[in-house]
């Protein structure tokens, strides 16, 4: 059987906490205005797109001249919260160039620009932007800045430096931020050779008790699961199966980390030669989605456990079941590969709801029955694929937004033309002048909007092609892995038959 792999990816988590920054009199006046309170209400009720539309409309009408900087900062943060990092970065780049920008606000802008660069994978630019942030800022932003610096170091495999940074005042953070800091600190310590200290931190996170009622609590529970799973695999790879199993068994059965935890818990029992106990998590795992590699491994581990228990007939039965599942899944991969080559992936991706960060991720789960996107959720496990998918979503959002504007412009032009032509107070000459003026204004707007549509469409198509390329690579890798599992299952089945036959002869 395949050796158990170490499972300890570092967690690149950045919060979007509201900042309690010291503000200027001008900013305080703006934040007390009905306009700002209205936008805050929309944002707090999850209507980010409504806020963006409201801001863009008021900009066109020239209502935001006095508070333009503050509104642009709000718009940039909204784009950032929606995962539109490129669009957010463009706004922050323009803001930091303004000499008249309040120093406190400029600090915040530099920080969010650094965050945008980080999400886009521009580590050097992110580091450079962070260097522009001075320390005269609120503790919450200061802690997050330090943590972002540590994440950049971890991305560069400089774990010792990352650990030193995170250890400075990481507890002074709101909500679940301290949990993320502790987790990343634990990973940095372990990767820099300080296993004991790192594991102690993971234990603290894994023991956290929260009320499962809020989003924050769910987030904390998921992080607790991740910590327990990491601990389990670390101990399993250190040949401490008896210590590993309790941590793996703490991972929730319906959480995002349950499959690998079930696989590891079974291996912990198997290492202790407790094969009946190993069958409990492995049987549970084998009933789950066959696209998951942990589930595929369970098809091999279940009959392996029966074989170790001397239950030859059951071993043969489940090895045959594994072979049947592998053959069927291999066929499904072939169908998906063929559909990808026929460019059906983009057609499926266009059905995603790209209007909000939460909904578009949820909508992926609703399209995975389409063969071209059947492995989309599994492909997201690849960082490269996920980053390209984020960029595709951003381009799609901008394209949809521009197309919506184009439709609205055409609608308004039609309404204005109908009104002018029907107004009997105008002479024919005046009517014609009004029509020409409307058409002239509309022409400029339509030209700019069509240019945005063309550019966004080009970007979307470029990312769609890249997603197709990556999808084909990832599916080929999956098929190769399945082929290996299939060979292992067939070989194990033949050996199980031989043992069963030998047993019958001796009887």
Q: Are 394 and 83 in contact (CB under 8 A)?
A: yes
How open is the CA angle 473-478-481, to the nearest 5 degrees?
A: 130
For residue 371, give its domain range.
Answer: 341-506
Residue 10: pLDDT over 50: no
Residue 498 lies in a domain: yes
Residue 374 lies in a domain: yes
% of the chain at pLDDT higher than 90: 28
**Binning pLDDT at 50, 70 and 90, where does residue 209 land?**
low
Residue 7 lies in a domain: no
Return the pLDDT at 466: 92
CATH no. for residue 120?
1.25.40.10
**Domains held by the chain: number:** 2
| Long-range CB pairs of 69-77, under 8 A, 24+ apart, other chains included | 69/95, 69/98, 69/101, 69/102, 69/105, 70/27, 70/30, 70/31, 70/36, 70/105, 73/105, 73/108, 73/109, 73/112, 74/39, 74/43, 76/109, 76/112, 77/16, 77/112
Residue 413: pLDDT over 70: yes
Residue 451 lies in a domain: yes
Return the pLDDT at 9: 39
Query: 7 φ, ψ to 5°?
Result: -130, 95
Domain boundary at 102, 137, 172, which? Answer: 137
How many CB atoms lie under 10 A from the CB of residue 319? 27
Return the pLDDT at 507: 62
Spell out the residues 6+ positions from residue 404 whose beta carbon is closer than 8 angstroms to its own.
none
pLDDT tens-digit profile of 227-286? 899 999 999 999 999 999 999 999 999 888 999 999 999 999 999 999 999 999 999 999
Domain boundary at 137, 162, 196, which? Answer: 137
Look at 56-60, 145-149, 209-213, 219-223 and tell me which has the smallest mean pLDDT. 209-213
Domain boundary at 137, 155, 181, which? Answer: 137
Where residue 107 falls (left for φ over 0; alpha for ψ -120 to 50; beta otherwise) is alpha
Q: Which residue has the higher pLDDT, 212 or 137?
A: 137
pLDDT tens-digit profile of 55-95? 555 555 444 555 567 777 777 777 777 677 777 888 888 88
Residue 131 lies in a domain: yes
């Amino acid at each position: 059987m395949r050796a158990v792999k170490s499972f300890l990816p570092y967690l690149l988590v950045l919060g979007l906490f509201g900042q309690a920054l010291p503000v200027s009199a001008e900013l305080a006046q703006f934040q007390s205005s009905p306009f700002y309170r209205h936008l805050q209400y929309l944002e707090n009720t999850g209507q980010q797109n409504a806020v963006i539309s409201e801001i863009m409309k008021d900009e066109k009408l020239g209502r935001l001249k006095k508070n333009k900087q503050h509104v642009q900062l709000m718009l940039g943060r909204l784009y950032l919260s929606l995962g539109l990092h490129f669009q957010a970065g463009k706004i922050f780049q323009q803001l930091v160039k303004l000499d008249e920008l309040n120093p406190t606000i400029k600090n915040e802008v530099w920080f969010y620009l650094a965050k945008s660069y980080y999400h886009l994978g521009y580590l050097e630019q992110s580091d450079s932007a962070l260097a522009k942030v001075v320390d005269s800022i609120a503790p919450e932003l200061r802690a997050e800045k330090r943590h972002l610096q540590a994440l950049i170091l971890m991305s560069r495999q400089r774990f010792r430096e990352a650990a030193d940074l995170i250890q400075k005042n990481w507890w002074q953070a709101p909500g679940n931020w301290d949990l993320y800091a502790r987790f990343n600190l634990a990973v940095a310590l372990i990767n820099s050779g300080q296993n004991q200290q790192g594991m102690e931190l993971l234990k603290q996170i894994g023991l956290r008790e929260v009320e499962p009622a809020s989003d924050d609590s769910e987030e904390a529970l998921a992080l607790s699961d991740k910590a327990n799973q990491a601990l389990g695999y670390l101990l399993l790879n250190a040949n401490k199966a008896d210590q590993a199993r309790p941590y793996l068994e703490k991972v929730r059965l319906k959480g995002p980390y349950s499959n690998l935890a079930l696989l590891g818990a079974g291996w912990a029992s198997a290492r202790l030669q407790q094969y009946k106990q190993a069958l409990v998590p492995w049987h549970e795992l084998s009933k789950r989605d066959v696209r998951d590699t942990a589930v595929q491994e369970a098809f091999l581990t279940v009959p392996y456990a029966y074989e170790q228990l001397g239950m030859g007939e059951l071993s043969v039965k489940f090895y045959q079941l594994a072979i049947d599942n592998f053959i069927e899944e291999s066929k499904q991969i072939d169908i998906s590969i063929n559909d990808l080559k026929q460019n059906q992936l983009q057609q499926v991706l266009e059905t995603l709801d790209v209007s909000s960060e939460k909904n578009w991720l949820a909508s992926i789960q609703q399209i995975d029955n389409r063969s071209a996107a059947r492995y989309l959720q599994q492909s997201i496990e690849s960082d490269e694929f996920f980053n390209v998918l984020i960029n595709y979503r951003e381009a799609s959002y901008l394209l949809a937004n521009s197309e919506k504007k184009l439709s609205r412009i055409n609608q308004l032009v039609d309404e204005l033309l109908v009104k002018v032509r029907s107004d009997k107070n105008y002479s024919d000459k005046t009517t014609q002048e009004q029509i020409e003026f409307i058409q002239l204004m509309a022409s400029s707007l339509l030209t700019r909007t069509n240019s945005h549509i063309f550019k966004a469409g080009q970007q979307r198509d470029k990312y769609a092609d890249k997603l197709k390329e990556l999808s084909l690579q990832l599916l080929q890798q999956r098929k190769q892995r399945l082929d290996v599992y299939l060979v292992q299952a067939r070989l194990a089945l033949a050996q199980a038959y031989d043992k069963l036959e030998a047993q019958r002869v001796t009887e």
